[in-house]
């Protein structure tokens, strides 16, 4: 019983991390129709900013607060300068953002070398519940993920910004005719997605040791989750991330980790093949 | 992106009749250089040249699926690497090194895996989106990479070292000029085969598929079948390249299967010019030579330069290096310029 609870907690906290990583990718894919291949590198950058702040002697939490802003700003600049030229075709966007990710990854690799970067948890220790101990930081990640999800949902469904984003998604031509600057909306959406990836990287750097090549794993996981969940809505990517995160965390308890890792992706691809619209079909929020 | 000169060529071509064809001249020049190189190069450079030729073969396979039929195969290295591992196992465990057995085996492995993956991704009731195919191949590449790294029988991280040399009759084929000419002959044969294929009716259907899939489907072609056929064929060529690579290098390792190799081949073809066979060859040669030259002195920044190059090509020269000297009409043939896709007319990746 206690073991089961601990396992559930592990699975839940891992699922929360995947949701956090995937949310930005899902929002960009759903709202803009492009898959951002540099998303994994935005996660890496978020972790790196936190690491920099930590090595500069600042408190870790300050680095974590700064990371989404820094990465979001970078995302905004990149969208203005480069990414917007790729909107013509989804494949070109994939290749272009892949190249962008490659550049970011290699620069970070140049800066950190072959190191695994990590920072201590801002809130250490564990919470005891009876005989069981839960890592406080993982609890914090779960809480922050929940807050970020609620905030993103409210932003997209209740604010005028969200209304504009959804209008640009539903019918770009009509949105432009109604006086919405879809260009500015795309820029802001991309920056928001990048900021979420930066936050994810900052929060998980105490849990995982990050290294330059980690972006790829997040990227494939994110894609698969978004496709499983369904593109075009807010709920889709979240549902997909929950499923993929749960499976990725649960399967290694039963079978070998490598096999589990591969099996999750194979199952997901088979699922997408037979249900291309994903778990949650339809547009909107 | 669209330079005015090529637009002009587009419209004047039918009227002025025969124009000077540049592509065949480039092909002959490249072949001549390829034939003469081992005579002037030092031995270690001939070995390097052989490796580049094998990678050219691999690039041709990717060019067939992406440049000619518009399938984004982000996992082309799966066929390359699996065939490499397959022949390495044949040589290690069964002592099979005869060329007559290992090369067909490599081709067969590449073909079968491509048929399985391609059949699954491309065939079926609802046609798959471009995004799904690219995601599926990318995931496949990642999965194969992970499996190879984790599987002790396949040597794990280290791969399979010291594969014995390939044998032709009783002769041991070791790296050097003989291996070079052997690969060059194979490359030439495959190149001519691809050239014949892409210039045939089937090739015309492929090109049409790349330019406007719906219209080709409307004409009654079984679009998804054509795609699956070309995908498997390209898998076979990649398998051939992979088995040659395994015997030339003498070892195989997980990077051969994975995303690293898969994206490298995308870069070769994009850079040289997709949709022309010689473009794939030129792209591979240029990138390999530059990286060979730079990797000694600028090992750390070379990948960054490569990324920037890729970005620049996508932004300003989507048709690759070859488009600098070959006109648009000669590259894609005289069946009209594709309409420029409009930014808003896409439906979220389900193209």
Q: For residue A276, give the chain B residue with the closest CA.
A: B128
Residues of chain B with Cβ-Cβ distance to A29 below 8 Å are: 348-349
Q: How many CB atoms lie within 10 A of CB B244?
A: 31
Q: Calculate Rg over the CA atoms of chain B.
A: 20
Task: Round to whole Å and give the CA distance between A171 and B180.
Answer: 57
pLDDT digits (tens, 9 = 90+) for B126-177: 667 778 888 888 888 888 888 888 888 887 788 888 788 887 877 777 777 8
List the beta strands (DSSP E) in B135-260. 166-168, 171-173
Q: For residue A173, give the chain B residue with the closest CA.
A: B344
Nearest CA distance, A159 vs chain B (angstrom): 24
Q: Which two tokens stand for residue A171?
A: 């019918």
Q: For residue B1, give the chain A residue with the closest CA.
A: A85
Q: How many CB atoms lie within 10 A of CB A58?
A: 13
User: Between A96, A232, A265, which is nearest B142 by CB?
Assistant: A265
pLDDT score, position B345: 44
CA of A249: how far to CAs of A205, A252, A257, in Å?
A: 18, 6, 10
Q: With beta carbons less than 8 A apart as the criterion, state whether A222 and A200 touch.
A: no
Q: For residue A108, give the chain B residue with the closest CA.
A: B304
Q: With beta carbons less than 8 A apart as the criterion, state whether A71 and A49 touch.
A: yes
Interface test with B, best of A80, A215, A260, A269 (most B CBs within 10 A): A269
pLDDT score, position B329: 66
Q: Do B120 and A272 touch (CB under 8 A)?
A: no
**Average pLDDT estimate for B9-32:** 64
Q: Which two tokens stand for residue B342?
A: 């409009």
State CA B175 to chain mean position distance: 23
pLDDT score, position B350: 38
- Phi and psi, residue B172, nearest 5°: -80, 120
CA of A44: how far to CAs of A15, A195, B24, in Å?
A: 19, 12, 47
Angle at A224 between CA B79 and CA A202, to 5 degrees: 115
H or E stretch including A28? helix A2-32
Task: Round to whole Å and give the CA distance between B197 and B53.
Answer: 21
- Phi and psi, residue A117, nearest 5°: -90, 145
Q: With beta carbons less than 8 A apart as the criterion, state whether A62 and A40 touch.
A: no
Residue ranges per structural domain of chain B: 41-258
Q: Do A35 and B131 touch (CB under 8 A)?
A: yes
Task: Round to whole Å and give the CA distance between A203 and A68.
Answer: 10
Q: What are the residues facing A135 on neighbouring strands?
A: A126
Q: Do B315 and A232 touch (CB under 8 A)?
A: no
Task: Round to whole Å and give the CA distance between B148 and B170.
Answer: 32
- Indicate the pTM of the whole model: 0.83
- Secondary-structure breakdown of chain A: helix, strand, coil percentages, each rounded to the nearest 5: 75, 5, 20
- Phi and psi, residue B185, nearest 5°: -65, -45
Interface test with A, best of B144, B255, B298, B304 (most A CBs within 10 A): B304
Q: With beta carbons less than 8 A apart as the criterion, state whether B329 and B10 touch.
A: yes
Residue ranges per structural domain of chain A: 1-212
- Phi and psi, residue A127, nearest 5°: -100, 130
Hey, is B124 helix, strand or coil?
A: coil
Task: Assess whether pLDDT exceeds 70 at residue B15.
Answer: no
User: Between A109, A172, A265, which is nearest B143 by CB?
Assistant: A265
ipTM of the complex: 0.83
Counting every residue, how long is chain B?
A: 351
Residue corresponding to tokens 């010291």 = B162
Long-range Cβ pairs for the range B14-18 (8 Å, 24+): B14/B334
Q: Which two tokens stand for residue B251?
A: 């070892």
The DSSP output letter for B64 is I
Q: Do A29 and B349 touch (CB under 8 A)?
A: yes
Interface test with B, best of A79, A80, A106 (most B CBs within 10 A): A106
Nearest-CA neighbor of B228 among B71, B104, B74, B62? B71
Q: Do B343 and A88 touch (CB under 8 A)?
A: yes
Q: For residue B299, give the chain A residue with the closest CA.
A: A110
Residues of chain A with Cβ-Cβ distance to B261 below 8 Å are: none
Show pLDDT as tens, one digit a residue, over chain A (285 residues).
667 787 888 788 888 888 888 888 888 888 787 888 889 899 999 999 999 998 888 888 888 899 999 999 999 999 998 888 887 777 788 888 888 998 998 888 888 877 788 888 777 777 777 777 778 888 888 899 899 989 988 888 888 888 888 888 778 888 888 888 888 888 988 999 999 999 999 988 888 888 888 777 788 888 888 888 888 777 888 888 888 888 888 888 788 888 888 888 888 888 888 887 778 776 556
Helix B130-150 and helix A90-112: axis angle, to 10°? 30
DSSP result, B272-321: H-TTSHHHHHHHHHHHHHHHHHHHHH-TTTHHHHHHHHHHHHHHH-TT-G
Residues of chain B with Cβ-Cβ distance to A106 below 8 Å are: 301, 303-304, 307
User: Between A103, A231, A256, which is nearest B304 by CB?
Assistant: A103
- pLDDT band for position B10 (cuts 50, 70, 90): very low
Q: Do B130 and A99 touch (CB under 8 A)?
A: no
Give every CB contact of residue A79 below 8 A, 6+ residues apart in sequence: A186, A187, A190, A191
Residue corresponding to tokens 């290098």 = B249
């Amino acid at each position: 019983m206690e073991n089961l609870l601990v396992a559930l907690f592990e699975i839940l906290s891992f699922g929360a991390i995947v949701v956090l990583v995937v949310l930005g990718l899902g929002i960009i894919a759903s709202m803009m129709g492009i898959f951002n291949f540099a998303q994994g590198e935005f996660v890496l950058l978020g972790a790196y900013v936190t690491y920099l702040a930590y090595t500069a002697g600042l408190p870790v939490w300050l680095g974590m607060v700064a990371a989404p802003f820094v990465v979001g700003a970078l995302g905004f600049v990149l969208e203005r300068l480069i990414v917007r030229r790729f909107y013509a075709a989804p494949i070109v966007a994939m290749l272009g953002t892949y190249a962008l990710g490659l550049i970011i990854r290699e620069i970070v690799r140049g800066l950190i070398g072959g190191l695994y970067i990590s920072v201590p948890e801002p809130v250490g220790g564990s919470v005891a519940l009876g005989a069981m101990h839960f890592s406080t930081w993982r609890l914090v990640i779960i809480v922050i993920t929940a807050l970020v999800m609620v905030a993103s949902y409210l932003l997209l469904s209740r604010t005028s910004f969200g209304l504009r984003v959804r209008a640009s998604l539903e019918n770009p031509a009509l949105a432009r005719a109604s006086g919405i600057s879809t260009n500015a909306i795309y820029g802001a959406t991309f920056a928001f997605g990048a900021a979420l990836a930066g936050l994810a990287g900052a929060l998980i750097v105490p849990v995982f040791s990050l290294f330059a090549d980690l972006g790829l794993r997040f990227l494939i996981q994110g894609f698969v989750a978004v496709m499983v969940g369904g593109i075009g809505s807010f709920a889709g990517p979240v549902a997909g991330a929950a499923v993929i995160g749960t499976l990725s965390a649960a399967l290694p308890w039963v079978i070998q980790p490598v096999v589990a890792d591969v099996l999750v992706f194979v199952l997901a691809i088979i699922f997408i093949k037979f249900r291309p619209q994903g778990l949650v079909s339809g547009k909107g929020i | 992106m669209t330079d005015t000169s090529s637009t002009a060529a587009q419209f004047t071509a039918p009227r002025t009749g025969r124009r000077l064809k540049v592509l065949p001249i480039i092909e002959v020049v490249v072949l001549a250089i390829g034939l003469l190189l081992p005579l002037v190069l030092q031995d270690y450079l001939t070995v390097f040249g052989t490796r580049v030729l094998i990678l050219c073969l691999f690039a041709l396979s990717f060019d067939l699926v992406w440049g000619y039929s518009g399938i984004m195969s982000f996992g082309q290295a799966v066929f390359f690497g699996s065939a490499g591992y397959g022949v390495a196992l044949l040589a290690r465990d069964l002592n099979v090194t005869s060329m007559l057995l290992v090369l067909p085996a490599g081709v067969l492995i590449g073909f079968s895996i491509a048929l399985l993956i391609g059949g699954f991704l491309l065939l079926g009731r609802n046609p798959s989106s471009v995004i799904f195919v690219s995601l599926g191949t990318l995931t496949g590449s990642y999965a194969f990479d992970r499996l190879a790294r984790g599987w002790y029988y396949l040597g794990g991280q280290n791969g399979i070292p010291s594969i014995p040399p390939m044998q032709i009759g009783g002769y041991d084929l070791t790296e050097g000029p003989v291996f070079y000419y052997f690969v060059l002959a194979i490359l030439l044969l495959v190149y001519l085969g691809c050239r014949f294929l892409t210039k045939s009716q089937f090739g015309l259907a492929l090109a049409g598929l790349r330019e406007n899939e719906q219209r080709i489907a409307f004409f009654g072609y079984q679009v998804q079948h054509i795609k699956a056929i070309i995908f498997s064929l390209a898998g076979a060529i990649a398998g051939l390249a992979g088995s040659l690579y395994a015997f030339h290098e003498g070892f195989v390792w997980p990077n051969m299967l994975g995303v690293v190799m898969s994206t490298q081949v995308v870069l070769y073809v994009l850079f040289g010019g997709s949709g022309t066979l010689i473009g794939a060859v030129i792209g591979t040669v240029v990138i390999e030579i530059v990286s060979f030259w730079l990797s000694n002195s600028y090992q750390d920044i070379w990948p960054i330069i490569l990324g920037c190059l890729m970005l620049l090509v996508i932004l300003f020269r989507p048709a690759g290096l070859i488009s600098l000297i070959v006109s648009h009409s000669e590259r894609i043939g005289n069946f009209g310029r594709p309409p420029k896709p409009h930014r808003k007319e896409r439906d979220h990746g389900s193209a």
